[in-house]
């Protein structure tokens, strides 16, 4: 090759670069079967609870693939895919399209609600002169007991905010009592979860020495039992040392306490002065991840397992120490059975 012919090469390179899209292309118009198969395969390889729930995923494919392939429009296809995902019985599993959002609601709909915000607000919060909404935390003092309601772990909580609330409960100059509170109620009923870091922030504020609370396992391969080694999770006190809270704490839960709220309840159960009261949490022990389908729809599903430090799989919920439902007569009288029982437990 003579040197004076080399000038062709730069132009060839520029031409070649223009052809790159021939090698990087998505499926332009995926058919129903391709969308179904992609969803089935992605979940098959990355979902974390097939073995724990004894799910026959191959059978689910044979049950719903035909419906998906025969779907005549987006709604029918969406419904067939949603039916497939419903088999997983997991509140962390969603199919999201512009037209709809699929979700399994069974983790709480089959159980009593055990929560009435109207009663809490009208009869416990608003009548109290100590009622404040500090960031995402509704807090007050009810019958000499501190009360915090946290609606969503999606709303950020800081250690300094918790320090302030504890200070408020402990220092008579900034509350209506003549002394410190007798204990604390942390109410996470109807808290559907959010960021796990907020769960750690609150649990660490009430923890003592470093305590192991759980093992996390990440999916690291396509087989149903491909998981990493355990990642140990700990809680340890983090906050103002002068205002450590060593008095009785009751955490109120119901079946709608899900995901990060579920994990929070599990972590708090390892703190000696904490009692879980109410109904079992709804579960949700896997960290959900997102993925996309070839037609642009979005799917979300669990991709980790959490086993607490006692060996329980918290995907199925955390059992309370004191099982309690709201009493219908109490509700008629504007009383929250769980708050009343928690106050009794703390003061006696």
306/328 Cα distance (integer angstroms): 35
Query: Is residue 167 part of the contact set for another protein (CB under 8 A)?
Result: no
DSSP H stretches of helix in the chain: 8-18, 32-46, 50-53, 57-70, 74-86, 106-109, 117-120, 159-170, 196-206, 260-268, 328-332, 337-347
Query: Is residue 6 part of the contact set for another protein (CB under 8 A)?
Result: yes
Q: Cα 105 to the chain's mean position, in Å?
A: 14
**CB atoms inside a 10 Å sphere around CB 51:** 12
Q: Name which position in 9, 33, 99, 133 contacts another protein (CB under 8 A).
A: 9
| Piece of 18-26, 78-86, 155-163, 336-344 that binds another protein (CB under 8 A) | 18-26
CB of 169 to another protein, least distance (A): 31
Length, in residues, of the chain: 348
Query: Is residue 274 part of the contact set for another protein (CB under 8 A)?
Result: no
CB of 326 to another protein, least distance (A): 32
305/316 Cα distance (integer angstroms): 11
The two three-digit tokens of residue 147, written as one number: 């009360």
Q: Name which position in 231, 323, 328, 344 contacts another protein (CB under 8 A).
A: 231
Query: Is residue 25 part of the contact set for another protein (CB under 8 A)?
Result: yes
* Alpha carbon distances (Å) from 219 to 46, 49, 266: 7, 10, 22
Query: Is residue 156 part of the contact set for another protein (CB under 8 A)?
Result: no
Q: Which is nearer to another protein, 7 or 105 (CB)?
A: 7
Query: Is residue 7 part of the contact set for another protein (CB under 8 A)?
Result: yes
Residues that bind another protein (CB under 8 A): 3-4, 6-7, 9-10, 13-14, 16-17, 20-21, 23-27, 38, 45-46, 48, 218-222, 226, 228-232, 287-298, 300, 303-304
């Amino acid at each position: 090759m003579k040197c004076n012919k080399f000038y062709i090469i730069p132009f060839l390179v520029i031409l070649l670069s223009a052809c790159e899209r021939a090698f990087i292309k998505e499926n332009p118009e995926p058919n129903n079967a391709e969308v179904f198969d992609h969803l089935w395969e992605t979940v098959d390889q990355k979902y974390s609870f097939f073995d724990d729930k004894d799910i026959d995923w191959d059978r689910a494919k044979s049950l719903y693939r035909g419906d998906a392939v025969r779907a005549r429009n987006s709604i029918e296809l969406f419904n067939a895919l949603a039916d497939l995902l419903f088999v997983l019985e997991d509140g962390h599993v969603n199919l999201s399209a512009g037209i709809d959002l699929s979700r399994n609601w069974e983790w709480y709909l089959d159980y009593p609600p055990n929560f009435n915000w109207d009663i809490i607000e009208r009869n416990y919060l608003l009548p109290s002169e100590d009622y404040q909404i500090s960031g995402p935390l509704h807090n007050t003092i009810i019958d000499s007991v501190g009360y915090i309601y946290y609606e969503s772990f999606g709303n950020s909580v800081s250690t300094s905010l918790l320090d302030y609330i504890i200070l408020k409960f402990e220092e008579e100059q900034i509350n209506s009592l003549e002394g410190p509170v007798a204990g604390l109620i942390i109410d996470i009923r109807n808290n559907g979860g959010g960021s796990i870091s907020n769960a750690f922030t609150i649990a660490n504020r009430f923890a003592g020495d470093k305590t192991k609370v759980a093992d996390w396992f990440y999916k690291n391969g396509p087989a149903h039992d491909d998981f990493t080694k355990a990642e140990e999770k700990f809680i340890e006190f983090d906050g103002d040392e002068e205002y450590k809270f060593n008095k009785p704490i009751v955490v109120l839960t119901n079946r709608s306490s899900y995901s990060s709220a579920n994990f929070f309840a599990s972590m708090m159960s390892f703190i000696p002065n904490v009692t879980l009261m109410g109904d079992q949490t709804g579960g949700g022990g896997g960290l959900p991840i997102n993925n996309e389908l070839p037609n642009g729809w979005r799917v979300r599903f669990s991709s980790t397992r959490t086993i607490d430090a006692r060996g329980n799989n918290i995907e199925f919920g955390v059992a309370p120490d004191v099982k309690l439902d709201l009493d219908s007569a109490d509700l008629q009288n504007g009383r929250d059975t769980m708050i009343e029982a928690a106050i009794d437990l703390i003061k006696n």
